[in-house]
Amino acid sequence: MKAIIAAVLFCLSGTALAQHHGHGFRHNNFHHRHHWHHKHNWVVPALIGGTVVYMATRPSPVIVQQPPQTLVLQPNQVTIDGVIYTKQTMIINGVETEVLVKQ
């Protein structure tokens, strides 16, 4: 991803410089007659370079996960996939059956 961003910014800076240097056919225009010297033609490349350096050197975010809590289960409790169930006895149609009830 960083390489793609750097390549796009590099291409954009190249087009900005090409537009700046491509004014040779305008010798009699406002820019030439009033001695318009481009003293700030370093600003755009400096911003692009700073952005590229920042994106390339910034640290990746650190993800901290909490350790799982230790559960103290009662003798009649069971955990399945992190869910606690309690064992209970039910009588269904006269037959005693053990079932798990979600807490």
What is residue 34's three-state secondary structure?
A: coil
Total number of residues shown for the chain: 103
Q: What is the pLDDT of residues 81-96, one digit of tens each?
A: 888 999 999 998 999 9
Question: Distance of alpha carbon 88 from its chain centroid, rounded?
Answer: 48
Q: Which residues contact 44 (CB under 8 A, 6 or more apart)?
A: 13, 16
Q: What is the pLDDT of residues 16-55, one digit of tens each?
A: 555 555 544 555 555 555 555 667 788 888 999 999 999 8
Adjacent-strand bridge partners of 100: 87
CA distance 41 to 13: 11
